[in-house]
């Protein structure tokens, strides 16, 4: 039987543990109905390629050698859909849902460096598709050409490069631009559309990625990995956007090395960074380009790990600029009196976990928070006992919540789960408990 080559598209989901292919959309030469197909009609073979072309060689935990990252993935569900994967009763496209697993991941690396991969799929038809109106059954389809990727969470996101270099450095960055249309707002109520207020100017959230999402040795990726590697895109989604009235800009610079680079050491404990004036210049440039749409009294800076450090560095260097700072698992060691005095001028909400394997809280956030409170700073700390999935999405084999390393506390920040203060009580505004994102949205410079 002669095989017929067809096209497919992938659908990417941005999850707590990175981006992954959650669905494959097949472009059929015929129309199918829901009862014509099931999860056994097609099978999927995956090869994970480096962007240079070769197949990724990966050493799995417990293995004694690296092996090609290739294999078959199970189809969980199959149904007719439109070209973007939206379910239909019948159509000329079929969606195949697949699980989050190693072979469906789109990024490879560690907390110290990562890179985007080129996942290549080959989907083979295993069962005939019934003919329509007397036509012969359709057989022998092979889907081996990808027509593109669909990622709904990236709606509104773009990449750019800083126009004016500072000290020879021009940062690549990603940004989310709110539409300023009522119907696109996270607060839009279709039953009472008049209640959605579209502001003239909106807040800006500057988010600083961790060590693993810097540019490093990668070429040609753009800044995308800086905001999809650890789901910074959550800030552009409804759960967090609603605190900002449904309209907030997001700016995500990408570090060429590490934010902790002081010009001598890339990961030193000097609490200095060559990137502080560069990021500040980028923010100023970005605000100037959108001066009629950004509220400069409501610029929030946040970041995780390496970016948590950079959050504090910016707040210390520019104490009257930011409305609030949200540092997460931030490696700020041996704070000086000058550090504390400068940081105390910006409202701060820290997030950290006991047992952090990379940034010891006893050497960083705990003494710093005490000193800031002694300085009468507006400071809060959500301190988790450990890090495990609190959303119900990820499970261990025994059904319990999936545990992850305790440094990865940013998954709670992006899931809007940082509510308790260090003393175990709630943070209140006007008598109501708020989390770190709502709190940051309700303060202004």
Res 429 pLDDT > 90? yes
Q: Which of 74-83, 133-142, 290-299, 306-315 has the lowest mean pLDDT?
A: 133-142
Q: Residue 307 pLDDT > 90, yes or no?
A: yes
CATH superfamily assigned to domain 155-441: Alpha/Beta hydrolase fold, catalytic domain (3.40.50.1820)
Summarised one tens digit per residue, pLDDT across range 147-202 is: 999 999 999 999 999 999 999 999 999 999 999 988 888 777 777 777 788 999 99
**pLDDT tens string 254-270:** 999 999 999 999 998 99
Residues of the chain with CATH 3.40.50.1820: 155-441
Confidence at residue 148, expressed as pLDDT on a 0 to 100 scale: 97
pLDDT at 59: 86
Residue 217 pLDDT > 80, yes or no? Answer: no
Task: Output the pLDDT for position 330.
Answer: 98
Q: What is the pLDDT of residue 135?
A: 77
Tens digits of per-residue pLDDT, 314-364? 999 999 999 999 999 999 999 999 999 999 999 999 999 999 999 999 999
Q: Do 27 and 93 meet the contact criterion of CB atoms below 8 Å apart?
A: yes
CATH of segment(s) 4-153: 2.60.40.2180
107-124 pLDDT per residue, tens? 998 888 899 999 999 999
What confidence tier does 245 reach under pLDDT thresholds 50, 70, 90?
A: very high
Cα angle value 257/262/263 (rounded, 5°): 80
Q: Identify the band that residue 132 occupies on the pLDDT scale cut at 50, 70 and 90.
A: confident
What confidence tier does 1 reach under pLDDT thresholds 50, 70, 90? low
Residues 6+ away with beta carbon under 8 Å from 341: 375
pLDDT tens-digit series, residues 40-71: 999 999 999 999 999 999 988 888 899 999 99
Distance between CA atoms of 125 and 298, rounded to whole angstroms?
54
pLDDT band, residue 444 (cuts 50/70/90): confident
Residue 423 has pLDDT above 60, yes or no: yes
Specify the pLDDT at position 196: 82
Give span(s): CATH 2.60.40.2180, the chain.
Answer: 4-153
pLDDT attached to residue 375? 97
* Whether pLDDT at 273 is above 70: yes
CA end-to-end distance (rounded Å), the chain: 70
pTM over 0.85: yes
Quick one: pLDDT at residue 193? 75
| Sign, CA torsion 281/285/288/290 | negative
C-alpha 144: how far from chain center: 29
pLDDT attached to residue 184: 81
């Amino acid at each position: 039987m002669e095989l017929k080559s067809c096209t497919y598209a992938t659908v990417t989901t941005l999850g707590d543990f990175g981006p992954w292919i959650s669905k494959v959309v097949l472009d059929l030469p015929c129309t199918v109905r829901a009862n014509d197909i099931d999860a056994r009609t097609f099978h999927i073979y995956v090869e994970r390629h480096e962007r240079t072309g070769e197949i990724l060689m990966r050493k799995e935990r417990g293995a004694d050698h690296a092996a090609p990252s290739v294999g078959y993935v199970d189809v969980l569900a199959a149904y007719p859909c439109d070209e973007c994967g939206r379910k239909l009763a019948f159509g000329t496209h079929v969606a195949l849902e697949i699980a989050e697993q190693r072979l469906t991941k789109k990024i490879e690396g560690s907390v110290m460096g990562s890179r985007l991969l080129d996942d290549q799929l080959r989907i083979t038809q295993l069962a005939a598709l019934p003919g329509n109106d007397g036509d012969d059954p359709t057989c022998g389809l092979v889907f081996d050409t990808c027509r593109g990727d669909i990622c709904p969470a990236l709606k509104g996101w773009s990449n750019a490069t800083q126009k004016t270099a500072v000290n020879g450095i021009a940062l690549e960055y990603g940004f989310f631009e709110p539409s300023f249309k009522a119907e696109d707002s996270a607060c839009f109520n279709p039953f009472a559309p008049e209640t959605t207020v579209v502001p003239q100017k909106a807040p800006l959230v500057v988010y600083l990625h961790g060590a693993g999402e810097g540019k490093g040795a990668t070429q040609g990726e753009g800044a995308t990995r800086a905001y999809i590697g650890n789901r910074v895109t959550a800030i552009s989604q409804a759960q967090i956007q609603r605190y900002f009235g449904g309209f907030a800009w997001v700016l995500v610079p990408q570090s060429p090395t590490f934010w902790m680079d002081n010009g001598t050491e890339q990961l030193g404990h000097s609490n200095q960074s060559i990137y502080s004036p560069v990021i500040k210049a980028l923010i100023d440039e970005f605000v100037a380009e959108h001066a009629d749409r950004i509220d400069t009294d409501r610029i929030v800076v946040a970041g995780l790990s390496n970016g948590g450090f950079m959050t504090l560095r910016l707040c210390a260097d520019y104490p009257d600029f930011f409305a609030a700072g949200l540092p997460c698992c931030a490696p700020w060691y041996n704070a000086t009196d000058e550090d504390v005095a400068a940081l105390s001028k910006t409202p701060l909400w820290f997030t950290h976990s006991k047992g952090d394997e990379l940034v010891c809280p006893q050497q960083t956030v705990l003494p710093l928070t005490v000193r800031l409170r002694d300085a009468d700073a507006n400071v809060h700390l959500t301190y988790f006992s450990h890090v495990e999935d609190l959303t119900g999405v990820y499970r261990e084999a025994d059904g319990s919540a999936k545990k992850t390393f305790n440094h990865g506390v940013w998954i709670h920040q992006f899931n809007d789960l940082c509510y308790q203060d260090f003393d175990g009580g709630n943070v209140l505004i006007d008598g109501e408990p708020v989390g770190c994102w709502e709190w940051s949205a309700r303060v202004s410079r």
